[in-house]
Amino acid sequence: MELFIVFVFILGYLAITLEHSLKIDKLVPSLVMMALAWAGIAFGLDGFEQWFDSHDSTLMQLETFEGIKYLANGDMTPAYAEFHEHRLHLMEGTLLHHFGKTCEILIFLIGAMTIVEIVDHFHGFSTIKGYIKTNKKRTLLWIVSGLAFILSAIIDNLTATIVLITILRKLLDKSSDRIWFAGIIIIAANAGGAWSPIGDVTTTMLWMGDKVTAMNLFQYLIVPSLVCMIIPTTIASFMKPFKGNFDLPEEEQEVNSRASLMLYLGLGMIVFVPIFKTVTHLPPYVGMMLSLGIVALFAEIISVRQFKMAYVGVVKKETEQDYVSPEPQGHHESPTFRALTKIEMPSILFFLGILMTVAALESLGLVFMFGQDVQTSMDNDIFVMLLGAGSAVIDNVPLVAASMGMFTEQTDHHIWHFIAYAAGTGGSMLIIGSAAGVVAMGMERISFFWYLKNIAWLALIGYLAGAGVYLGISMFI
């Protein structure tokens, strides 16, 4: 049955990798292979000889049943019934453990996504455009690169990329100019997400899995991540596409008077989450729900006040005869409700399928044994470097999920920080290697081969430079 489960994983993973060719959203194979993998465990439960205890990170050897399984009338023998019941409880307990840990990550992501959508509802991100006053392309390059690095550490690299490309569209008319900036944004956003526990799904997984702490992740990865961003940006600033000036557009009126308030409130409450975890020692999703509640409260109060002001304005303008009362604000008009309808549920379901599939492989001890083989065949640092390169081709979420089952080192061990860096920044080497790259590819219609020719080599230099700096720092850790 192990071979069947591995075959399901390989086949499903291949379908995910070929998502664009097959024209099937990656959440479909992700959910199917999750269900089939656990079904395989259920059907072959009594025959497994080993089981990975996720609580203690140890591989257990299971006793096999040597007696008579069934009586002549087809009933289970009492001994076999007890044996089967014990294994059933083992599977149910393991499934519940992994589902709980996975849901912690998903609820955390839903909270973060909702806060970002509430901020966007009030046009909060348009405030950022007001800070860009230059008409020099080189200066604009450094501004958007720096913003990508900082924003991705707070609102994740995917959202940061969307926000900055949207701003670029208001500054640069030509798509041929924007794609160069978008390429650097991808590198900077992925680098920025690597040093923050809330900047990338993979760093969030490591943080919530107690593999890293927020302060040590920042302390050990901020410099390598900066190097990964600064070197490609420096090289790019001497390239022809980033020379010269561009015409600044006319100033636009502020869309919403509360835009700045909601931007700073939203970003501040997301940053508050690691602080809340450090102080209370509660799981991060609890702090994220508190932050979401506070942001949603402000959003509801502002919306109600704006509605009342609009209502009063209409009353003053209309006479008693021709005035028609506007419809009261319903639940569907709530900014929180609207934000919840716009979050990326396909991504959430994809993460559910991937993480639970890897959990199935881990439960059988397959991931742990693979990790043992890797550690005996090559140096861990070399393996992590290859993992980072692999994340440019293969989604980094399952790679990190698998690595969490391979190694048993303590919290904040060197290997976990290096995995966070490699998986977060390695995806920049191909445009399909990260969520930031995929969304930029769609928004600006960047071709795979254009990126490979013009941007990939910059990402590779940044990745290797940052990795070299990290390995140098780790010698003194």
Residue-wise DSSP of 364-418:
TTHHHHHHHHHHHHS-HHHHHHHHHHHTTTS-HHHHHHHHHHH--PPTT-HHHHH
Q: Which residues of the chain, if any, have pLDDT below 70?
A: 55-57, 248-256, 305-333, 477
What per-residue confidence (pLDDT) applies to 333? 67
| DSSP state letter for 76 | B
What per-residue confidence (pLDDT) applies to 328? 44
What per-residue confidence (pLDDT) applies to 323? 42
What per-residue confidence (pLDDT) applies to 420? 92
What per-residue confidence (pLDDT) applies to 459? 94
pTM listed for this prediction: 0.77
What per-residue confidence (pLDDT) applies to 230? 95
What per-residue confidence (pLDDT) applies to 255? 57
3-state DSSP call for residue 197?
Answer: coil
Backbone φ and ψ of 432, nearest 5° = -90, 5
Backbone φ and ψ of 61, nearest 5° = -95, 125
Backbone φ and ψ of 53, nearest 5° = -85, 105
What per-residue confidence (pLDDT) applies to 322? 47
What per-residue confidence (pLDDT) applies to 97? 86
What per-residue confidence (pLDDT) applies to 463? 94
